[in-house]
Amino acid sequence: MNDAEPVPWLSDDEQRSWRAFVRLHLKLSARLAADLQSHSGLSAADFEVLVALTDVPEGRVRFQDLAKEIDWEQSRLSHQIRRMIKRDLVTREECAEDGRGAYVAISAHGRAVIEAAAPKHVVAVRRLVVDALTPEEFAELGRLSAKLTDRIEREP
């Protein structure tokens, strides 16, 4: 009866905010993924890889570098690229300078697909998020996100 609560549960308001936040991320990622899939036949993972590949002028990058760029584990990338090769979105190229290494290169088909997909994705993001808030609100959302990410990365 004495002693402060050993576990500081969330207040009702906090609970509501937290739930809303979690729910948003579930709904939004599901929705964007579904749009991407139905409009362009791409998964979020496909999309991320293809965007990263178009960001580099040569259209090909070493596995390592790509993994770092998009912050993926190396084996995740390896699995993903295997699947994408089967659909001719990317190709794998040997690396002359390093016998262990390899390049991932975007294919012509992959380029066509991402060029069609990207604008649709942007439109969806705008419609569902950016334009759903005032510019001030959206900026604030960005600021709070950055603040939290910062905290998370500083944590033990």
Partner DNA sequence: CGGAGATCCATGACGCGTCAACTAGAGATA
Partner DNA sequence: TATCTCTAGTTGACGCGTCATGGATCTCCG
Q: Which part of the chain contacts a copy of itself (CB under 8 A), choosing from 55-63, 87-95, 103-111, 145-153?
A: 145-153
48 DSSP β-pair partners: none
Sequence letter at residue 143? R
The single residue among 35, 46, 117, 121 that binds DNA, judged by CB under 7 A, is 46
The single residue among 6, 7, 100, 152 that binds DNA, judged by CB under 7 A, is 100
- Indicate whether 62 belongs to the interface with DNA (CB under 7 A): yes
We find the least distance from the C-beta atom of residue 102 to DNA, in angstroms, to be 4
In angstroms, the CA 5 to CA 8 distance is 6
Q: Count each helix (H run) and each strand (E run) in the chain, helices first.
A: 6, 3
Backbone φ/ψ region at 94: left (φ over 0), alpha (ψ -120 to 50), beta:
beta
Q: Which entry of a copy of itself, DNA, none binds 64, CB below 5 to 8 A by partner kind?
A: DNA
Q: Which part of the chain contacts DNA (CB under 7 A), choosing from 3-11, 17-25, 72-80, 130-138?
A: 72-80
Please count the other Cβ atoms lying within 10 Å of the Cβ belonging to residue 47: 20
Please count the other Cβ atoms lying within 10 Å of the Cβ belonging to residue 9: 8
- HSE on the CB side for 29, CA within 13 Å? 7
Sequence letter at residue 145? S
- Indicate whether 17 belongs to the interface with a copy of itself (CB under 8 A): yes
Tokens, residue 45: 């993972």
- For DNA, the binding residues (CB under 7 A) are 30, 34, 43-46, 62-64, 67, 72-83, 86, 92, 95, 98-103
- For a copy of itself, the binding residues (CB under 8 A) are 6-10, 13-14, 16-18, 20-21, 23-29, 31, 71, 119, 122-123, 125-130, 132-133, 137-149, 151-153, 155
